[in-house]
């Protein structure tokens, strides 16, 4: 059943991608990384990151989305929760230098303050350089948690975590991952 749903998602995903402002972050060999990104204006409450970067409402950020259908396809044959978590961690770690390059050469580089993601699976994100911040708006948090249910079902993950923001300042990204 899950493989059938994954197949349907594989068909629907290109349509979804074409209707959004998401863009792939290409790898060195012109394959796409795990990240799909878009520019966004931050709408949450003020956040001060550890490096002193202040993110205010309407600041320009790069919003990162994991290419979930690709990730789930790659994880399909891995049954151990621990091995799956380690695999995803390393997939993301391998993609971050390409994201740093993408941000560095972006035509609006000077305006971009940080990258942002929203997830319920954030264990280990701090080791990658992300800062975890709770979502203060309870309605938005419930909406995001509901949107993650299909992904968690297909990933065989029983995640009960509330969604959080993952932030990384542009300077931190470029310092850690600029190749």
End-to-end alpha carbon distance in the chain: 42
pLDDT above 90 for 132: yes
Sign, CA torsion 177/167/142/25? negative
- Which has more pLDDT, 81 or 109? 109
Pick the range with the lowest mean pLDDT from 12-26, 90-104, 141-155. Answer: 141-155
Task: Report CA Rg, the chain.
Answer: 16
Give the DSSP letter of residue 140. Answer: H
- Which has more pLDDT, 49 or 79? 49
pLDDT in tens, 117-126: 998 878 889 9
pLDDT the model gives residue 152? 63
In 31-135, where do the E strands start and end?
32-41, 47-48, 54-55, 60-66, 114-119, 131-134
Can you tell me the distance from the alpha carbon of 170 to that of 35, in angstroms, rounded to the nearest whole number?
16
For 107, left (φ over 0), alpha (ψ -120 to 50), or beta? alpha
């Amino acid at each position: 059943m899950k493989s059938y749903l994954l197949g349907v998602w594989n068909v629907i995903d290109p349509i979804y991608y074409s209707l959004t402002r998401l863009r792939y972050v290409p790898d060195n060999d012109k394959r796409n990384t795990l990240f799909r990104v878009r520019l966004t204006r931050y709408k949450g409450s003020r956040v001060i990151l550890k490096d002193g970067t202040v993110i205010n409402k309407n600041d320009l950020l790069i919003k990162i989305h994991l290419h979930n259908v690709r990730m789930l396809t790659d994880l399909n044959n891995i049954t151990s929760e621990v091995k799956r978590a380690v695999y995803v961690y390393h997939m993301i770690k391998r993609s971050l230098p390409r994201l740093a390059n993408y941000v560095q050469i972006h035509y609006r580089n000077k305006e971009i303050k940080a990258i942002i993601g929203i997830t319920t699976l954030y264990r280990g994100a701090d080791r990658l350089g992300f800062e975890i911040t709770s979502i203060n708006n309870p309605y938005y948090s419930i909406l995001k948690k509901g949107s993650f249910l299909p992904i968690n079902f297909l990933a065989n993950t029983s995640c009960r975590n509330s969604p959080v923001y993952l932030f990384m300042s542009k300077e931190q990204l470029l310092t850690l991952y600029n190749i």
